[in-house]
Amino acid sequence: MSTKILIVEDDELVQASLLAILESEGYENFQAFDGMMAKKLIEREFFNLILLDVNLPDISGLELCKEFKQTEPRTRIILLTGYSNENLDSEAINNYVDECVIKPYDIDILLKIISKNLEEQRKESKI
């Protein structure tokens, strides 16, 4: 079974580069450019991991991650943000986000974070 990753990012260049990199790593990728599109995809599909931009045109990424975790708690969520953690809602970070990565990020570090979260998810599902 393939590993499915949803990229929720409104910046088309960032979206395209993440898509290309993750495809080269062998992940099955899906794209959403706003929260509404992401919600529709999540209703139809299980995603192992979501890369979620905090600033979306129609809804806050933090609000969206709360909804996603309530819908499917096994999904790992990595929040992508241009802000430091101090500027983000700590309740959302602590309860709904598995990792927070500050932009601009090093792609090798992001890939390691993705891999670590997917491995943790696999271990949790065996329990």
Tens digits of per-residue pLDDT, 82-110? 765 555 556 666 788 899 888 888 999 99
- Nearest partner of 68 among 101, 43, 31, 105, judged by Cα: 43
pLDDT of res. 75: 95
Residue 56 is classified by DSSP as: -
Instruction: Report the C-alpha gap between 80 and 110 in whole angstroms.
Output: 10
**Which residues of the chain are modeled with pLDDT < 50?**
none
Residue 98's domain spans which residues?
4-126
CATH number at residue 10: 3.40.50.2300
Q: How many domains are there within the chain?
A: 1
pLDDT of res. 104: 87
